[in-house]
A = this chain, B = another copy of it.
Amino acid sequence: VSAGIVTLLTDFGLRDGYVGAVKGALLSRNPRLRLVDVSHDLEPGDVTAAAWALRQSAPAFPPGCVHLVVVDPGVGGERRGLACRSGSQLFVAPDNGVLHWILGDAPIVRSLAVADSASPVFHGRDVFAPAAAALAAGAALEPLGPGVEPDSLVRLPFAPAERGGDTWRGTVVHVDRFGNAITDLELPADVRGVAEVTGRAVPLRRTYSDVADGEPVALRGSSDTLELSCNGSSAARSLGIGLGDVIVFRVD
């Protein structure tokens, strides 16, 4: 079943007409589509941020939604365009790592055919939007292009999180606008422990206000992963951590 919903996640910003052009291309294929903006102000070309924003948002949507991602510095070059079904959700995106965290156990992936008429500098409008509109209308993945081995997809250069024994390890994969440093280490709901951050022990608490203003705190974040925060300020800045840093979590 298709929900007729297409979400949009791009690095187009909000002072050009590109977001509008993609929306127009979607609605031209199907004026009944329901378009949902996720974010458009990602740093230009920031594939990692897009991948995590997708991980944060897509699981909340009802089955059959199509998630269109246009963060595409390689547009018009060798990189493939993809249509993908993972679990109950559908994705249309360039093959540059943006699907890193949402690929489940057995995704079905196709490589999008590119029409001669497509602008080589705007696949978001001319290749991805038509594919997303078709999927949102209930079309099958198969006619969109040849099959792709999931193992051949571009991945982001993050080692998988480790949860062996009582010393777990995750990597900071995103720093959000509030300065929270978010890792990919999934925490069970009832775990207890302490994060080690640049030599400092930061205890796991329930929420920001469980520590005093400005104090660091470890949390099970809203994507169920370990997160370092400071109540009322930037944890990334005050703890001196950033993207790619490995955080150790010692289970009690």
Give the interface of A toward B (CB within 8 A).
3-5, 7, 9, 12-25, 27-28, 31, 35-45, 49, 52-62, 65, 73-78, 119-122, 125, 174, 176-178, 206-210, 219-222, 227, 232
Q: Identify which of B16, B60, B120, B210 contacts A21 (C-beta below 8 A).
A: B60
Known interface pairs A23-B57, A60-B125; 17 further A-B residue pairs with C-beta atoms within 8 A, sorted by A's residue number? A5-B27, A13-B39, A14-B39, A15-B53, A16-B39, A17-B53, A20-B56, A24-B57, A24-B59, A24-B60, A27-B62, A28-B61, A31-B62, A73-B208, A119-B221, A120-B207, A121-B222
Q: Quick one: which of A17, A40, A42, A45 has the most chain B CB within 10 A?
A: A17
Q: Which residue of chain B is the closest to A180 with respect to CB atoms? A: B121
Kindly provide the distance from the CB of A176 to the nearest chain B CB, expressed in whole angstroms: 5
Assembly stoichiometry (copies): 3
Q: Identify which of B14, B28, B31, B76 contacts A206 (C-beta below 8 A).
A: B76
Within the assembled complex, what's the spacing in Å between the Cα atoms of A221 and B222? 40
Query: Could you give 24 example pairs across A and B, Cβ below 8 Å?
Result: A12-B177, A13-B177, A14-B14, A15-B41, A15-B42, A16-B176, A16-B177, A17-B55, A18-B56, A18-B57, A18-B222, A19-B57, A20-B56, A20-B57, A23-B38, A23-B60, A24-B65, A28-B61, A35-B36, A73-B208, A76-B209, A77-B209, A119-B222, A125-B222
